[in-house]
Amino acid sequence: MTKRFLATAAFVLLSSTVTVSATDIGATFATACPFGDCAAGISLSYLGEFVIPTGHMENGVEFGGISGLDFDAASGHYIAISDDRSDKAPARFYELDVDVDASGLKGVSIVKHVTLKDKNGEPFAARTVDPESIRLGKDGIYWGSEGDGKALLPPFIRVASPDGSFVREFKLPEGFAPTADKSTGIRDNLAFEDLAVAPSGDVFVGLEAALYQDGPNPSLTSGSLSRIIRYDGATGEPKAQYVYPVSPIPQAATKADGGNDNGMSEMLALDDHRLLAVERSYAQGFGNNVKIMMMDLTDATDVSAIASLARNDERVVPARKSQALDLRAIGLVPDNIEAMSLGKAKDGSDVLILGSDNNFSPAQKTQFYAFKILSRPQS
* pLDDT, tens only, 333-378: 999 999 999 999 999 999 999 999 999 999 999 999 999 999 999 8
Report the number of distinct structural domains present in the chain: 1
Which domain CATH number covers 285? Answer: 2.115.10.20
Would you say residue 4 has pLDDT above 90? no
How many angstroms separate the Cα of 281 from the Cα of each of 23, 100, 260, 339?
22, 27, 7, 14
Element of type H or E holding 248 = none
pLDDT tens-place string over residues 132-163: 999 999 999 999 999 999 999 999 999 999 99
Rounded to whole angstroms, the Cα distance separating 77 from 97 reads: 5
Q: What share of the chain is helix, strand, coil (3-state, %, to 5)?
A: 5, 45, 50
The pLDDT, as a whole number, for residue 9 is 39
What's the whole-number mean pLDDT along residues 74-95? 98
141, β-bridge pairs = 136, 160
Q: Is residue 13 part of a domain?
A: no
Q: Is residue 10 part of a domain?
A: no
What's the whole-number mean pLDDT along residues 99-127? 98
Name the strands in the sheet holding 156-160, side by side, starting at the edge strand that comes first in the sequence.
131-137, 140-145, 156-160, 166-169
Q: Is residue 18 part of a domain?
A: no
Q: Is this prediction's pTM over 0.85?
A: yes
Rounded to whole angstroms, the Cα distance separating 55 from 63 reads: 7
Q: Is residue 22 part of a domain?
A: no
Q: Is residue 217 part of a domain?
A: yes
Q: Is residue 1 part of a domain?
A: no
> Under a CB-based contact definition with an 8 Å cutoff, are residues 57 and 41 in contact?
no
pLDDT tens-place string over residues 171-218: 999 999 999 999 999 999 999 999 999 999 999 999 999 999 999 999
Q: Is residue 16 part of a domain?
A: no
Domain that holds residue 153: 27-375
Nearest-CA neighbor of 210 among 222, 220, 199?
Answer: 222
Q: Is residue 40 part of a domain?
A: yes
Quote the percentage of the chain above a pLDDT of 70: 94
